[in-house]
Amino acid sequence: MVEKPNYDYLSDKAVDNKEQDAFQRFNFAQRIVEIIKRRKSSDSIVIGIYGAWGEGKTSVLNFIRNEVKKTKDEYIQIDFNPWRFTDEAALLTSFFNSLGEAVLASNNDKERLITEKRKWISFEWFNRQREPLKTNIETIGDLIKKYGKVTAIFGAGEAANAIGEAISNVNIDELKSRIESLLSNSGKKILIYIDDIDRLDRSEIHSIFRLVKLTGDFTNTIYILSFDQEMVSEAIGERFGSGDKKAGHNFLEKIIQIPLNIPVAAPSSLREYCFKLIDSAIQSSDIVISSTEIERFVYNFTSYVFSRLTTPRLAVRYSNTIAFSLPLLEGEVNYSDLLLIESIRVFFPSHYLFIKNNPEFFIEDYKNTYDNNLNKEKVELYQLRMEELNENLTSTEIDNIRSLLIELFPLLESVYGYGYYSQGSKEDWSRDQRIASTKYFKRYFTYSVIKGEVSDNDFRILIKLAEDTKSSSEYENHFKEMIENSNPENLIHKINEHSRQFNWNAGKQISKSLCNYSHILSEKGGILNLGHGSPFGLAALSITKIIESHGSNDESFEFSKLLMTYPPQFSFAYAINNWLRGSKVEGGKLFSDDQYVELAQIITDRAISESGEDSIFEIFPKYIGYLTQTWHQRDSAGLFDYIDSYLNKDKKNVIKFLRSFVPLIHSSAKSEPYLEDLTSNHYKYIVSIYDNHKIVDFINHIIPIDELKKKEVYWVESGDNEYDDMNLLRQFIHWNEKQSNN
């Protein structure tokens, strides 16, 4: 077994050496190092590295740090992480502790200074603190720590009043002066890195810049700050000047002496980097994507998405996303569609959520159900929602997302006046596993085959087994498992979609399976609930399409004959027969007239046989029109004798006989179908296959005609009355007398 290549999900970790630099950041960092090295002044300075989220600011800091390490022991480098502090006092204390520890750890802390032990050392708050406030021997690091403690106390707001007297003899200026003197004499420079300032909340951002301002004039100290200038300006601007972003910019100009912007990554480098990650993600999934699908993806990605690929971080996020989703949906979706909808997730996240939560705009028609015209209200609503989503996009990006959405959801063409797709196109979308198909849409967002749906992988296995004549038993087990573990309707729809693509052996196997399981298929549905669009009717149609695809030949006809008796249910055999009668192939009907007559005789003989001691008029009234008509055409005398025998057996059977010709009406006005009237046409048909005088005699034997006529005949169609057997007899007499009078 070949092991799948492994995909290491990228953590978006910044790079730290020149060999990993894909976007020319190293030279930029090296130039900053040169500025630091050549600087002779001992004055503090603040360098600001500006860049948007994911542009590589942290990588630049890594490059600077590593290059500085290569110098002689001239620099003390400190990384200060401000994220974990809940208040400004803790932030200040931590900063100076970090600074003090770094100085203590350097080779320059051998000289120790004797200082006066402070009287306030016993104060409880300070007794809880560790070095340096509990000793009378201090180093530079000790002094820095002490400075931080005291500064933190003074920055603690109301708490300063409670401890003010206890530290009244501590002179901050004196401490700071001594620290600066010792730093100056040490011969070292301190580099302080503070990264990701733009990820802090507003109050924390304020605290960081208060800290820098407070200590910004320390001797031999260099701050290197990295952040998104626009985000930070907006955060700090509310407290200064006019209180807007411009005020924030002005404040930064006073704090940052060297403002530097991260170089924009070259589009070609970003594209190469992104496609390299995509290729790695696809290969690790071990999924074979056709060249046609790859070409479609690359064309649409580069045309409509690439302009949004502004940082390496977005490329990493996208590759991680598809590395996750591809294996979950292997064989279950259109890969090109999956790669494109995932690109919308990463690069147009608001649009993605709108698609996910509003499928009616993307997979449902924009036509009115009542007049088939464009639903202008729905179009306007969609356009309004898109305007809201596009508010912060450029005109080019608006055009791009529109084109990408139309590519994925062709029904949107009608929104923009480009045309309208047919039902045939919708069938293609389903067969091709497109996201535009109502049957596949949800799959792209759940990353799985939803319970009740049919797995395309399982379906492919089913077809492969059906094609192999030696795998009959394995095929039957697989079909049984699929139809029992999924929604049978979904399986029938999938079979119907692919019915013209099966080879003959697979087609026959599947047809027999549909016959065997027809009893679990619903017959409800379709227009007027007549069942033609139901799973039951669709299964019969699928069998007909399989036979059609094999063509007009003896094999097709012999198999059709078998299907008149093979299904356990007569109703399913009849449904197949019904579809076959309208079946056409190139050049005309599927079968000859004589062949259709033979099929009719087989199914009629089956009806007679299954009726047993009863009659087709009692057991199969639903099909009586077809059975008697085809029987009459080929053997009118035989049909006459069958009816005559049935009525003479029990004269009351005339009611059942006549009732079998009364139409069963399906109406939205009533929950259940109901019998209506024996019409003039029904009467004419009945007397064309049997003697009307005999029927009148049978009726008269049940109830004298004069007695029957004491009540007026009525018509169920008028809506005033419901069907009644005696009224049925009156209706027959009514038409019979009317015919006699004519």
Identity of the highest mean pLDDT range in 17-21, 134-138, 212-216, 647-651: 647-651
pLDDT, residue 111, reads 44
CA distance 537 to 547: 16
Q: pTM for the full model? A: 0.61
Q: Phi then psi for 567, rounded to 5 degrees? A: -60, 135
For the chain, give the mean pLDDT: 82
Least trusted range by pLDDT, from 36-40, 103-107, 205-209, 308-312: 103-107
pLDDT surpasses 60 at 526: no
Asked if pLDDT for residue 170 goes beyond 50, the answer is: no
Domain coordinates in residue numbering, the chain: 26-74+188-264, 85-186, 267-446, 451-611, 616-628+636-742
DSSP string computed for 552-619: SSHHHHHHHHHHTTSSSSHHHHHHHHHHHHT-EETTEESS-HHHHHHHHHHHHHHHHHHHTTS-HHHH
DSSP string, 254-271: HH-SEEEEPPPPPHHHHH
Please choose, from the candidates 738, 741, 725, 657, the residue with its C-alpha nearest in 3D space to the C-alpha of residue 694. 657
Q: Is 224 helix (H, G, I), strand (E, B) or coil?
A: strand
Over residues 205-234, mean pLDDT = 81
Specify the pairing of strand 664-665 against strand 674-675.
antiparallel
**Residue whose entry in the numeric block shows the structure tokens 């070292």:** 188
Residue with tokens 């730093």: 183
Mean pLDDT over 713-718 rounds to: 90
What per-residue confidence (pLDDT) applies to 668?
A: 66
Q: What's residue 249's pLDDT?
A: 84
Q: How confident is the model at residue 703 (pLDDT cuts 50, 70, 90)?
A: very high
195 three-class SS: coil
pLDDT score of 612 more than 70: yes
Higher pLDDT, 742 or 206: 206
Q: Does 247 have pLDDT greater than 70?
A: yes
Q: How far is CA 63 from CA 18, 24, 67, 76, 395, in A?
A: 8, 11, 6, 16, 37
pLDDT for the residue numbered 157: 43
The pLDDT assigned to 712 comes to 93
Mean pLDDT of 506-512: 94
**Which of 197-206, 539-548, 616-625 is predicted with the least confidence, judged by mean pLDDT?**
197-206
Range of lowest pLDDT (8-17, 60-69, 275-284, 416-425):
8-17
Per-residue model confidence (pLDDT) at position 138? 52
Tens of pLDDT, residue by residue over 97-143, are: 777 677 767 654 444 433 333 433 333 434 444 333 333 345 556 65
Name the residue type at position 657. F
Helix locations, 374-471, DSSP H: 376-389, 395-408, 423-431, 443-446, 456-467
The CATH architecture annotation of domain 26-74+188-264 reads 3-Layer(aba) Sandwich (3.40)
Q: In the chain, what is the straight-line distance between the N-terminal and C-terminal CA atoms, in Å?
A: 87
- Cα R_g (the chain), whole angstroms: 43
Residue 524, pLDDT score: 73
The better pLDDT of the pair 25, 382 is held by: 382
The CA-CA-CA angle for residues 625, 627, 632, to 5°, reads 95
d(CA 633, CA 647): 21
- Cα 17 from Cα 26, distance rounded (Å): 8
Rounded to an integer, what distance in angstroms lies between the CA atom of residue 727 and that of residue 677?
A: 9
CB atoms closer than 10 angstroms to residue 619: 17
Least confident of 222-236, 593-607, 719-733: 222-236
Flag the least confident range among 108-117, 242-251, 351-360, 509-518: 108-117
CA 683 to CA 705: how far, in whole Å? 17
Joined tokens for residue 681: 């046409």
The two structure tokens encoding residue 143: 């002094």
pLDDT at 470: 82
292-349 pLDDT tens trace: 999 999 999 999 998 898 888 888 889 989 988 999 899 999 999 999 999 999 999 9
More confident residue, 468 or 73: 468
Residue 360 has pLDDT above 90, yes or no: yes
Does residue 708 have a pLDDT over 60? yes
- What gap in Å lies between CA 249 and CA 326, rounded to an integer? 45
Q: Which pLDDT score is estimated for 127? A: 41
Residue 93 has pLDDT above 80, yes or no: no
Task: For residue 50, give the H/E element and its range.
Answer: strand 45-50
User: Where residue 369 falls among pLDDT bands split at 50, 70, 90?
Assistant: confident
pLDDT, residue 151, reads 59
Which pLDDT tens digit goes with each residue over 441-493?
999 998 777 777 788 888 989 999 999 888 888 999 999 988 888 888 888 88
pLDDT computed for residue 7 by the predictor: 52
Range with lowest mean pLDDT among 231-240, 330-339, 625-634, 699-708 = 231-240
User: What b-and-e string marks burial along 38-66, b requiring 16 or more CB atoms within 10 Å of the CB?
Assistant: eeeeeebbbbbbbbbebbbbbbbbbbbbe
Q: What's residue 176's pLDDT?
A: 65
What percent of the chain is predicted at pLDDT more than 70?
A: 80
722-741 burial: b if 16+ Cβ within 10 Å, else e = eeeeebbbbbbbbbbeeeee
Helix (H, G, I), strand (E, B) or coil at 80: coil
pLDDT at 167: 41
Higher pLDDT, 134 or 287: 287
Who has greater pLDDT, 600 or 94? 600
Give pLDDT, residue 596. 95
Position 215 pLDDT exceeds 90 = no
Quick one: which of 457, 523, 445, 458 has its CA closest to 484? 458
